[in-house]
Structure 1
């Protein structure tokens, strides 16, 4: 990765992270309360859903910047021909290196594949708004299929100290939810999670592509 690409990925990633946190933080709070074992109202309901937004936004800039910098760098190391069947694997490796979570392993290869498909159908590289739409679809799908893991994480975070759930075993937490609440419990909060992450994917990946494209264009025009 050259110097302009490094700077563009770093700044664009940070801008994307701050943008999505400022806009969608309240929805994540609502989703977490829906997944709480004590119920939505007892967990706080709609009270204080904006609490913590400033600190989250400040922290998201370096995190998102580091993620996208790593993502683009690993992609450049694993550069393959555009027709290669290895491309989805490349995007999975790049995403997992930047942030090792199952969500990214679903979202980013799907995002890149949707962009490639749209570009092939239209005969040109996708615009930033088209990238954002692809990000929304990819984010919504990834949100749906990883909701049980998110429910387990929430239960572990909210578990009483010393309990078996507080031990941090994700599979055990998922099994406990399945036994007590069934499939509905495992997918608690799936709709607000999908809505939030779809909007987040639109804003996050759209803002990233737009900002990175603008910075690269400025870099090319600079003497």
Structure 2
């Protein structure tokens, strides 16, 4: 990856991330409150739907930029030494590595954002200060493992599907897809990946919102999923699926479409 490609991936990813996170923030808030253990209305209902937005605003650019720089770099390195028929495997590995790196920024941002969303009366700054005071820096990384376990399966589905849909569409029309077509492919890939990985997202939310001394706060995904299954059944595991799929399908359209457009312009 040369310097131009690096800067294009960095800026395009950052712009795309901010565009999605800030535009669709209310849907994310509703999803978090639906997944909250105290229930939608006790977590704030439809009030204060922009609670936690400063955290999202600060984290979205570096989070998305880190992901796409890692993703494109890994693709360029592996693509030069692996045959083209193994492209889906390259995309899977590149997306997985991208998520591991991006979560270093995403998780602290998510912890503060989701706690502010579930308790809008506190405010983002107070949530951040309280987390540091009571749990230290590691408190900001509670749920890192569960977030990675959610994001890697999500990316293993979304990005190979996105690349595949673009390749098929390009083949059918005999030229590279336009940015709006890349956005449509991103919407379909994102919606499917979001639906399949909703239980992992519910577990991640419960871990981040749990009290510091609770069993859930230890971050073990499987026990959390089993507990939700026992107490709420299948509906509990898929709580928030409608706003999640809506948010991520729209987000996939904006995120991957914006990324494709900005990346082409910068190159």
Q: How does 1:70-89 map to 2 (within 5 A)?
A: 70-79=70-79, 84-89=84-89
Aligned to 2:164: 113
Shift of 1:38: 1.4
- 1:61 is aligned to 2:61: yes
Aligned to 2:224: 173
The more displaced of 74-83 and 145-154 is 74-83
- 1:187 is aligned to 2:241: no
- Confirm or deny: 8 A CA contact 1:135 1:202 kept in the other structure: yes
Shift of 1:84: 2.9
Shift of 1:30: 0.5
Could you list the per-position Cα deviations for residues 183-213 of structure 1 after superposition, in whole angstroms to 9, with x for gaps in the alignment?
A: 1110011111000000000000000000010
**CA pair 39-105 structure 1, distance change in 2 beyond 3 A:** same
> TM-score of the superposition, structure 2-length normalised?
0.77
Q: Hey, what's the Cα distance between the residues in 2 that align with 1:126 and 1:156?
A: 40
Shift of 1:159: 2.1
Residue of 164, 179, 183 corresponding to 1:132? 183
Shift of 1:145: 0.5
Aligned residues: 216
> TM-score of the superposition, structure 1-length normalised?
0.92
Aligned to 1:221: none
Aligned to 1:16: 16
Shift of 1:154: 1.2
Shift of 1:166: 1.9
Aligned to 1:214: 265
Unaligned runs of 5+ in 2: 101-150
Shift of 1:51: 2.1
Secondary structure of 1:78 counterpart: helix
Shift of 1:60: 1.1
CA RMSD of aligned residues (A): 1.6
Aligned to 1:219: none
Q: Hey, what's the Cα distance between the residues in 1 that align with 2:22 and 2:206?
A: 25
The more displaced of 4-13 and 202-211 is 4-13
Shift of 1:35: 0.9
Aligned to 2:49: 49
The more displaced of 154-163 and 104-113 is 154-163
Q: Hey, what's the Cα distance between the residues in 2 that align with 1:38 and 1:53?
A: 21
Q: Hey, what's the Cα distance between the residues in 1 that align with 2:14 and 2:93?
A: 21
Aligned to 1:150: 201
Shift of 1:53: 1.9
